[in-house]
Amino acid sequence: MHPVLDDLITLLKLERIEENIFRGASRDIGSPQVFGGQVLGQALSAAQHTVEGRVAHSLHGYFLRRGDINAPIIYDVDRSRDGGSFSNRRVVAIQHGRPILNLAASFQVSQDGLSHQADMPDVPEPDGLKDLTHLAADVLDKIPVKLRRFMTDQRPFEFRPVEQSDLDEPVKRPPNKHVWVRAVDKLPDGLALHQNLMAYVSDFELLTTATLPHALPFTQGKVIMASLDHALWFHREFRLDEWLLYAMDSPNASGARGYARGQFFTQEGKLVASTTQEGLIRVVDPGRAAKRSDPRHQV
């Protein structure tokens, strides 16, 4: 398996300390704090370790503080309920004695029922589209070092955007975008693992959809963005080593917050998951932005 993907799978497995307490490490992927998708994926993994015979159908998380990349994260799971068909778990992610994420996850026994879904957007197939990391050298030179690493370091997933964007000189456009996503290598079987990975990858690209009508200058270090909450619903089984279309839109931005929605479709048009996120978006001077990137700083 590709080493970067293998490392992510190991990262999501967690170390069991006690019956309902787990410990996870972090990876520096170039973001100014622990990547939110990592904490979501690990928190879901912790909840899954306490459930048998049921699969996750939804999760709702609130990011409370920026995570410290250099410190482990403790996941404390509360077995809130085990009913006839559904189980609910509450997970608190803790660093330095303080919670950084509260997450609730719900699990269900597999059942048949009514079925309908939204139509898949009519967009080009992933073949022939360029990966997100293929940026022109002259643009990379203008991107801050941290952002450059975030954009160009090896990732466990391929991202092939349908709409090309200009980081250096963006133009205002509607708050919609489409990105094909796939793991860089074949993954083991097991729906739980693929759900953990989707929790991780769903945090990429989503919130920036809310910035598209405003043409924000990301290369100038003037933009502060931080996820405030994240929700994810699993509708149908899927594999993340097969192409999924991540279709995103942003119905609203106000009060220094942006709101975005996303849907994951298979190439055959099957809707497998939906997600929403709200996040902080501020435009400030570069000095203040650098200060806010300190993981000890609280939003």
Residues identified as active-site: 203, 227, 277
CA distance 89 to 20: 11
Which residues on adjacent β-strands are paired with residue 232?
59, 275
Q: Which residues contact 31 (CB under 8 A, 6 or more apart)?
A: 146, 150
Q: How far is CA 298 from CA 69, 77, 247, 294, in A?
A: 15, 24, 31, 9
- Assigned token pair, 68: 């410290």
- CB under 8 Å, gap of 24 or more: what pairs does 289-292 form? 289/221, 289/222, 289/223, 289/224, 290/221, 292/224
Spatial neighbors of 70 by CB under 8 A, at least 6 apart, are 26
- Identify which of 124, 215, 139, 116 has the alpha carbon closest to the alpha carbon of residue 171: 215
The amino acid at residue 29 is I
